[in-house]
Amino acid sequence: MRCPFCGYGDSKVLDTRSTDDGNSIRRRRECVQCGKRFTTYEKIEDVPLIVVKKDGKRQVFDNTKILNGLIKACEKRPVSLNQLEAVVNEIEKELKNRMDKEVSSSLIGELVMDKLKVLDEVAYVRFASVYREFKDISTFIKEIENLLRKNGKEKID
């Protein structure tokens, strides 16, 4: 690290601490030539996640789009905003942990449906009906029957 006072290219680290937000590291340094002290900050480089849409277009990942979709699906359901924000955070973390620079919108949709299925089944069916573009009532019935079968409940008559 170059000294800001004398320009010498070497310094020693005296103290290292995480910043309050936890997103960077504060280092207290001392120039080995002039002896003056200075502070540096190291920040993790955040590479943006790119979403590849069905039509092939690419755009930067925006977690508010997921949150808005969840809010619509959970309208008039007993699901709190905190629960929805937690789902969005889980999905974003899962996507970033994959270490892929690009993810498909279909993968995001499947992750949302997996989380909704556990959170609220009615909201899951609502979201699935839009996401999977249900064409008629029989598609709704099939999806509900699949859900009931997975939960060990009986078939609809």
DSSP the chain: ---TTT--S-EEEEEEEE-TTSSEEEEEEEETTT--EEEEEEE---PPPEEE-TTS-EEE--HHHHHHHHHHHTTTSS--HHHHHHHHHHHHHHHHHTT-SEEEHHHHHHHHHHHHHHH-HHHHHHHHHHHTT--SHHHHHHHHHHHHHHTTPPPP-
pLDDT at 46 over 80: no
> Using one digit for the tens of pLDDT, what is the confidence trace for 29-40?
999 999 999 999
Type of residue at 74: C
The predicted structure's pLDDT at residue 153: 63
pLDDT at 56 over 70: yes
pLDDT at 55 over 90: yes
What's this model's pTM, rounded to 2 decimal places?
A: 0.65
Here the tokens at position 94 are: 């899962």
pLDDT at 151 over 90: no
Instruction: Please state which of the ranges 11-20, 68-77, 116-125, 136-145 shows the lowest mean pLDDT.
Output: 136-145
Q: Which residue has the tokens 């002290």?
A: 37
Residue in 99, 92, 106 with CA at minimum distance from that of residue 61 = 92
Region 62-87: what's the mean pLDDT? 95
CA 86/CA 93 separation, integer angstroms = 10
> Using one digit for the tens of pLDDT, what is the confidence trace for 77-133?
999 999 999 999 999 999 988 888 999 999 999 999 999 999 999 998 899 888 877
